[in-house]
Amino acid sequence: MAREVSEYFRTSPFATFAGKLTPETGEEDFVNLRFHDEFLRQLEYDLLQSQIRIRLIVAQVGGGKTWTLSWLYRHFSRIDHNLVIGIPRVELRGQPERGFMEAIFRGLAPKLSEIRAKLPKESIPSELRGTTTEYVWNAILDDDVFSMLSGRGGRLPVMGNIAPPSLTKTEGTMQLLLGLFRALYSIGYAQVVVLVDEVESIFIAYGKRDLFIFENYLRGIFDEFESDKGQTLPRLLILLAGTSDVLEQISPALVGKQTATGDVASALARRLGPMAIIVKDESDVLRIADYRIGKHRKRPLSQPFIPYSRDAILYAWKSSLASIGDFCKYLQSMYELALSEKAKMITLEYGKRAVAQYQESSSPNES
């Protein structure tokens, strides 16, 4: 006999939350919303039409940024001649541009063996010999020097009679980064996608002077790619994901708000492509709940499946203030409460009780 309500879960469908940006993060529980379909079309068009594109993705904490970036990581990695570089966060260094450059080198780690196999030392193109690109080429093949470029620290050595650019100077980090992209392009990577999570940390940690230099650093990257016109550099897509509330406090211009004179990031905002805001309507909310219930419902038997009413799901969403993370926590609390009372349906009443209990238990203890 077919089972429906009597089917079982191995685990609750709402107990998994986003973690660090990786290709695997959220793979099982990610829900492709209408936003994602439209956003992907825009990004594919960007790569087709533009030599370089820099875009910002904003959402509040728990709003789906990391899962969105991880989903894009998986998608673009499946395309031939693409290289995806995932950066969970930019480590804070003396200068933000150095931290950004080192994060990109560090993000090569999952593909390092593949890249090294395509970089035989004797096959470097003649037009790249004696340049910073040759230096980077040789550095990638050397574990010790590559670790320095990835943030370990230390003084870069001379390699192959080529003196390295300075890691402590903005121009030096620019030369090393462009050398990397030219090396990647020369071995067949026609498109490079750089995904940066938690970008707000840069704007929190650094002062106006450092941020002004970093803005010009990004502008310099943009100008180099635009003027190259695909002769020596790949097409480049950079996605920066951050929390809307924090970014708005730092710079209203970053999140599309009216800005005043002196906005430290207004120059950067003018160089960004259209901003993407992860927006979810009621149908998306129900889709998230339905998808995750369905995925876990097919697992081995352990705990009873208890259906959720539509009102309970929407109440959880309203209570979460549009945070997917809190939304799933509330649904998990509803499930545990209903399970403890052997309920046959998770109703709105269970939703209200569970949300109240969860919020009470999560509040700081008062002395």
228-252 confidence digits (pLDDT tens): 999 999 999 999 888 766 566 555 5
Q: What is the pLDDT of residues 20-43, one digit of tens each?
A: 888 887 676 677 777 888 889 999
Distances (CA, A) of 63 to 18, 112, 197, 209, 251: 10, 31, 13, 31, 20
Q: What is the pLDDT of residues 185-226, one digit of tens each?
A: 999 999 999 999 988 888 778 877 887 888 888 888 989 999
Question: What is the average per-residue pLDDT within 302-328?
Answer: 79
Q: Name the residue with higher pLDDT: 338 or 288.
A: 338
Question: What is the average per-residue pLDDT within 94-110?
Answer: 93
Domain span(s) for CATH 3.40.50.300 in the chain: 34-277
Model confidence at 261: pLDDT above 60: no
Answer yes or no: are the C-beta atoms of 83 and 192 closer than 8 Å: yes
pTM summary value: 0.75
Mean pLDDT over each residue of the chain, to the nearest integer: 80
CATH superfamily name and code, 34-277: P-loop containing nucleotide triphosphate hydrolases (3.40.50.300)
172 Cβ contact partners less than 8 Å away, ≥ 6 residues apart: 164, 165, 166
Question: What is the average per-residue pLDDT within 54-74?
Answer: 84
Give 72's pLDDT tier (boundaries 50, 70, 90).
very high
By CB atoms closer than 10 A (0-12, 13-18, 19+), residue 67 is buried
Answer yes or no: are the C-beta atoms of 133 and 88 closer than 8 Å: no
Q: What pLDDT does residue 366 have?
A: 44
Pairwise CA distance, residues 315 & 178, whole Å = 50
Which two three-digit tokens encode residue 166?
Answer: 């300075």
Percent of the chain scored above 70 by pLDDT? Answer: 76
Q: Name the residue with higher pLDDT: 230 or 9.
A: 230
Name which of 143-152, 280-289, 298-307 the model is least confident about: 298-307
Question: What is the average per-residue pLDDT within 98-126?
Answer: 90
Please name which of 217, 208, 205 lies closest in space to residue 271, comparing C-alpha atoms: 217
Q: What pLDDT does residue 7 have?
A: 38
Question: What is the average per-residue pLDDT within 101-110?
Answer: 95
Which two three-digit tokens encode residue 294?
Answer: 């369905």
Give 75's pLDDT tier (boundaries 50, 70, 90).
very high
Is the CA virtual torsion 207, 213, 216, 220 positive or negative?
Answer: negative
Pairwise CA distance, residues 174 & 161, whole Å = 20
Torsion of CA 51, 52, 58, 61, to 10 degrees: 120
Model confidence at 6: pLDDT above 60: no
Model confidence at 68: pLDDT above 50: yes
Answer yes or no: are the C-beta atoms of 156 and 12 closer than 8 Å: no
Distance of CA 331 to the CA centre of its chain: 25
Question: What is the average per-residue pLDDT within 85-98?
Answer: 88
Answer yes or no: are the C-beta atoms of 329 and 13 closer than 8 Å: no
Is the CA virtual torsion 280, 281, 287, 288 positive or negative?
Answer: positive
Model confidence at 17: pLDDT above 50: no
Helix ranges (H only) for the chain are: 34-49, 65-77, 96-106, 112-117, 132-140, 143-147, 170-186, 200-205, 208-228, 244-250, 266-271, 282-297, 310-320, 324-340, 348-362
Torsion of CA 222, 225, 229, 233, to 10 degrees: -160
Question: What is the average per-residue pLDDT within 314-341?
Answer: 82
Pairwise CA distance, residues 211 & 95, whole Å = 9
Backbone angles phi, psi at 97, to 5 degrees: -70, -35
Q: What pLDDT does residue 2 have?
A: 34
